[in-house]
Every structure is written in structure tokens, then in C-alpha cells.
Amino acid sequence: MIFQLDNTTEFPDPRYGNADGFYAVGGEVTPERLVKAYPMGIFPYFAFRYRPIIWWAPQERFVIFPNEIHVSHSMRNLMNKKKFHCTFNESFPDVLAGCADTDGRLEEDNAWLGPELLDTWMELHDMGHAVSVEVWEDDDLVGGLYGFVCGRAFIGDSMFSLEPSASKLALIHLARHMQAHGGGIIDCQLETPHLKSMGARYISYDDYLNFTKSSERILF
């Protein structure tokens, strides 16, 4: 079943949605809506120049457990050189901009991280729900990622690199931070070969909710 949404309705149980994850159309991507959606495993993914908004809620969730992240030999060598350093929440707007426009993404017809969603993510950050990871070379931002935090889950939304492997460094830094602060999951939302190579695997929707609905919260 594909649900039709507006901004006055609650999100229906994703278990009654399509097995492939295509969940609903309609509504808007306000901060208030996303605060309700993400803990349920629901996220918007659509070309921002077009309507209606499309929402997804896969029943099998592609996640990384922080203690299972794969760090390749080449990545270990890069990290040992200490060419880059990582931070949290020091430059959230610039990470957003990098994710939106690196490699000309914003000009693509199917670009999804448009002005409306950028404003919404800034509000989520101001509300304390959204976190960024920055990768720096000296004083230059060269990569990063951002996502939504709920319970023991970091729901990754996008990443970018201006230097080779910078986004991998951000993900490893995030995983090690989470491992040091009680663990949890990093939700990758959609499967990619890149994320699979770093240790992502599938878990059930019910197992996923045990992390997003946890009364404990990841500390940053």
C-alpha cells in the first residue's frame, strides 16, 4: 500500500506500506514532520523541483553497527598520516552546502537536497536533532556528513568529499565515537557498494525500532 499524506495526518504504520520501501506521497518536509518520521524509519527522498514529495520506509534496514565498521589497510595508512582531523557540529551549514552542491549535484534534474530541505535541516540542527561530522585539512573543510539522531540511531542523510576518502573518514570517526559512547546503529537508508564495503548489513524493521525508539540517546 502507498499512503497519501497531508500535514494534518499522523504517519501510518510502515509495516502496512510496500515491501520495497515506497511508503507514501504528499505532505511537506517541515521540521515537525521529520521529527515524527525519522524515529519510525520514514524519510523523504524526491527530486526537489517536482511534487508530490515521496516518502520511503524500507522494512529491511541497511545499517552499520559501529563496532563492525570495516577500516581498510589503505584507510588505516591515511589515518596514521594525520593529514586530516574530524569534528562534530563545528560547521553544519557548510556540510549541508557541500552535500547539496559538490560535483554539481544541485544542477542535476533529480537533485533532492534543495532550498526547502536545506532550511528544514538547519532548523532540525537548531532544535538539537541534526548532527554534522566535518573533515578538515588544516583550516579547510574537505568532507563530511550529517544526519538525524534519535535514540541510539544516527540516521545518515548525505555525505560529500573534496579529497579522496574524506567521507569515509567522517563515517569512521562517527562510528568510533558511537562505539565509545555505548554503540547503536548508523542507518544508511539505501544500499550502496561503498557502504556495504564498510560493513553495512540488513536488519529487520522491528530490530531497527529498538534503536530509534530507545530512551537512551547518543551524546555528541
> Which tens digits make up the pLDDT trace of 23-32?
999 999 999 9
177: how many CB neighbours lie within 10 A of its CB?
Answer: 17
Contacts for 72 with CB less than 8 Å, ≥ 6 apart? none
Q: Is the dihedral of CA 212, 38, 196, 105 positive or negative?
A: negative
Residue 116 is which amino acid?
A: E
User: Within 13 Å and on the Cβ side, how many CA atoms surround 121?
Assistant: 30
Which among 220, 105, 218 is positioned nearest to 162, based on CA atoms? 105
The whole-angstrom separation of Cα 92 and Cα 24 is: 29
| pTM, full prediction | 0.95
Question: What is the chain's alpha carbon radius of gyration, rounded to the nearest angstrom?
Answer: 17
> Average pLDDT for residues 67-95, to the nearest whole number?
96
For the segment 163-180, what is each residue's pLDDT rounded down to a tens digit?
A: 999 999 999 999 999 999
- State the burial class of residue 30 (Cβ atoms within 10 Å of its Cβ: 0-12, 13-18, 19+): middle
For the segment 96-144, what is each residue's pLDDT rounded down to a tens digit?
A: 999 999 988 888 888 889 999 999 999 999 999 999 999 999 999 999 9
